[in-house]
Structure 1
Amino acid sequence: MKANINITCGTVELENEPSLHKGLDYSAVKAAGFPIVREDDMGTGWKYLLIGPCNIDGNRAHFSLAFAQGSLEKISFSFNRKGVPIEDLVHIHNQYLSDKLGPPTMHDKGITRYVFPWGTIASSYDARGGSCSVIIAWA
């Protein structure tokens, strides 16, 4: 499934699937037939769906969809690069965003952020947790 991030409005457009956008209903995503890999209910009002695999500009990834009270609030993904050290994957994420979006709005320890009227796109690195991802969050 091909995916494209529409930076004008903050949606993720998926080939032959409904687009992912702020407020999308959890039940609607489940009923739409997305390729769901995993479901997690945190018991706190937050639920997560992992869908994919997706092709984002030639990069293979899975999307983690985060729902608060049944409403889509943010999406995160990381490129699938087996054997690539996490520090290199952070650089790959940052370079991808720079190529697609230009210079970041801000860069701080472990986070490169692009701010838009609709929300943010950020490359995040958690050195203690040993993970990194690209996060799309709506205002």
Structure 2
Amino acid sequence: MCSDFLQENKRGRVKKAGLFVYVRDGSISELQDLKSGCICLDNCISIKQNLSVLALIGQGLKFNDEIDMANGWVLRSSWHHFILGHEVNVTFNSFKDCLKMFGFALANEGGYDVEDLKKKHDDLLKSLLGEPQEKNEVMAAYEFTWGSIISYKDPRGGVCSINVIWV
């Protein structure tokens, strides 16, 4: 487990530090402790700022794809994971082997309509975090002292995701 939990309410949620997380089939998948910018992947992999690729692999993560931008940035992807009880595909953007951005997109959510997927991403974040501090046609942003969480749709088409960006 990624963290200790304080209480479970009747709707199958656990409340920790003012944030509700979901319990599914007795296991906990959650966006963990947003105040520190940590995410729990597959109930056991802790994703946080500045992790190295070796630290991620050491937690059992396997990458499906890697793109070295030849400027210090390396983009990696990994498929078929779970966050918040949803199957997701994830991306890791590292600069000089320090994780700077983590992204995920809901997978197998009933089709490939980008507008529909963006709405699902927005609704998921809204259910967890409330109203975003900033919202427009292509993004909904939540700002924290450690960075931000953004539901984003590429205006050039075809892609949308939820991104955790650390400062």
Common fold: TM-score over 0.5: yes
State how many pairs are aligned: 138
Match of 1:89 in 2: 117
Q: Are the equivalent residues in 2 in contact too, given 1:2–1:55 (CA < 8 A)?
A: no
Q: Are the equivalent residues in 1 in contact too, given 2:29–2:85 (CA < 8 A)?
A: no
Identity of aligned residues (%): 27
Q: Are the equivalent residues in 2 in contact too, given 1:45–1:68 (CA < 8 A)?
A: yes
Residue 72 in 1 paired to residue 72 in 2?
Answer: no
Paired residue for 1:60, among 71, 80, 87? 87
State the SS of the aligned residue for 2:127: helix
Match of 2:157 in 1: 129
Q: How does 1:1-139 map to 2 (within 5 A)?
A: 3-6=29-32, 7-14=34-41, 15-17=43-45, 19-80=46-107, 81-139=109-167
Question: Cα–Cα, structure 1 residues 2 and 60, in superposed 2: closer, same or farther, change >3 Å?
Answer: farther
Structure 1 residue ranges without an equivalent (≥5): none
Q: Distance in 1 between matches of 2:59 and 2:76?
A: 13
Q: Of the two structures, which has the highest relative contact order with CA contacts closer than 8 Å and spacing of 6 or more?
A: 1
Equivalent residue letter for 2:131: P
Q: Which moved more, 1:86-95 or 1:27-36?
A: 27-36
Q: Distance in 1 between matches of 2:62 and 2:110?
A: 21
Q: Distance in 2 between matches of 1:124 and 1:63?
A: 14
Report the TM-score when normalising by structure 2: 0.75
Q: Distance in 2 between matches of 1:31 and 1:40?
A: 20
Report the TM-score when normalising by structure 1: 0.89
Q: Distance in 1 between matches of 2:83 and 2:47?
A: 14
Comparing both structures, which one devotes a greater share of its residues to strand? 1
Q: CA offsets, 1:26-83, max 9 Å, x none? A: 2322344313222221212111221242222221102101000110001011101352
RMSD: 1.9
Tell me which stretches of 4 or more aligned residues in structure 1 moved more than 3 Å: none
Q: Distance in 1 between matches of 2:29 and 2:51?
A: 17
